[in-house]
Amino acid sequence: MTQRLGKNLNGYHGETIDIRSVLREIETAAPAYGWTSEIFHTHGDLDWVALHRPARITDHALRKRIHISAGIHGDEPAGPLAALKLIQDDLWPGNVEIFLLPCLNPLGFLRNQRANADGIDLNRDYRNPQSTETRRHIAWLERQPRFDLYLCLHEDWEAHGFYLYETNPDERTPLAEIMIAAVAPVCPVDGSEIIEGRPAQGGIIRPKISLQERPDWPEAFYHITHKARQGYTLEAPSDFPLPVRVSALVTAVNAAVNSLMAR
Ligand SMILES: [Zn+2]
């Protein structure tokens, strides 16, 4: 099994990416695979893009919509790379409609830092947004239909392996175990009983979320409140090689999408 690199002490010290070139690759690849793109924010030469891939089968009873976002933390390169690979692999079932936001924090990536250029953690900014990036993302979300599922792609530099958060208040068929089982052959799973201060089991955290008590909403809280009743925050372990982390995220997304569409 893949060994930890031992590089990440007190923060992320692993590989970095040139976000401009990754975003260029994404914007070049997307139309070739039938995606349209909308720019919902710009800063200098950087674009915040929302990609949309319509369902190929237009039976409305079967169609499901999924919001996939990545790159909200600028020191987590696996997310935008996973977005690129998902586009290039093009393994989507016919009746799924995907909304893919490959990088929510390009300015963080320019600095290899978690926060945006003003030091705001965008993933704590979804209740009373202070950042332009989050305001623009929410303004874009308000123009979209509801989703059947959201997936937020992240990394954790402290993790011993892959893990995920499940939010599923209506107790729909869970997708957590399916994702963990799919990821296990490609990336170690964090078996810790406590992860990020929360009880975990087999790489799955099912947090008791108190939306109203928490002032600093992550993106997931916005989705649960406004857009979708089931979703997952996926955390790839930064202390493993970057291709392993990308593969873990891609594998988890494919497993979730296929399982959702099969039920
Ligand atoms: Zn993150």
Amino acid 19: pLDDT: 97
CA 140 / ligand 1 centre spacing (Å): 21
- Determine the average pLDDT of the residues in 41-59: 93
CA 220 / ligand 1 centre spacing (Å): 12
CA 62 / ligand 1 centre spacing (Å): 32
CA 154 / ligand 1 centre spacing (Å): 4
CA 115 / ligand 1 centre spacing (Å): 10
CA 38 / ligand 1 centre spacing (Å): 24
Calpha distance 204→209 (Å, rounded): 15
CA 65 / ligand 1 centre spacing (Å): 23
Q: Which of 13-17, 95-99, 153-157, 252-256 has the lowest mean pLDDT?
A: 13-17
Better-predicted residue by pLDDT, 11 or 183: 183
Amino acid 68: pLDDT: 98
pLDDT digit string, tens, across residues 94-134: 999 999 999 999 999 999 999 999 999 999 999 999 999 99
Calpha distance 44→40 (Å, rounded): 14
Classify each residue of 58-71 as buried b or exposed e, where b means 16 or more C-beta atoms within 10 Å of its C-beta: eeeeebbbbbbbbb
Q: Taking 90 as the threshold, does the pLDDT of residue 87 lie above it? A: yes
CA 77 / ligand 1 centre spacing (Å): 10
Amino acid 44: pLDDT: 95
- What integer best gives the mean pLDDT of the chain? 95
**Residue 167 forms beta bridges with which residues?**
231
User: H/E/C letters for each residue in 25-70?
Assistant: HHHHHHHHCCCEEEEEEEECCEEEEEEEECCCCCCCCCCEEEEEEE
CA 73 / ligand 1 centre spacing (Å): 5
Q: How confident is the model at residue 1 (pLDDT cuts 50, 70, 90)?
A: low
CA 95 / ligand 1 centre spacing (Å): 29
Which pTM value belongs to this model? 0.96
Query: Token pair for residue 78?
Result: 């696996």
- Determine the average pLDDT of the residues in 147-176: 97
Q: Going by C-beta distance under 8 Å and a sequence separation of 6 or more, which residues neighbour residue 48?
A: 39, 40, 41, 42, 101, 103, 104, 106, 133, 136, 137
Calpha distance 119→201 (Å, rounded): 33
Amino acid 2: pLDDT: 66
How many percent of the chain have pLDDT more than 90?
87
Rg (CA), the chain: 17
CA 155 / ligand 1 centre spacing (Å): 5
- Determine the average pLDDT of the residues in 230-247: 97
91 contacts 53 by C-beta, under 8 angstroms: no
- Determine the average pLDDT of the residues in 20-26: 97
CA 218 / ligand 1 centre spacing (Å): 10
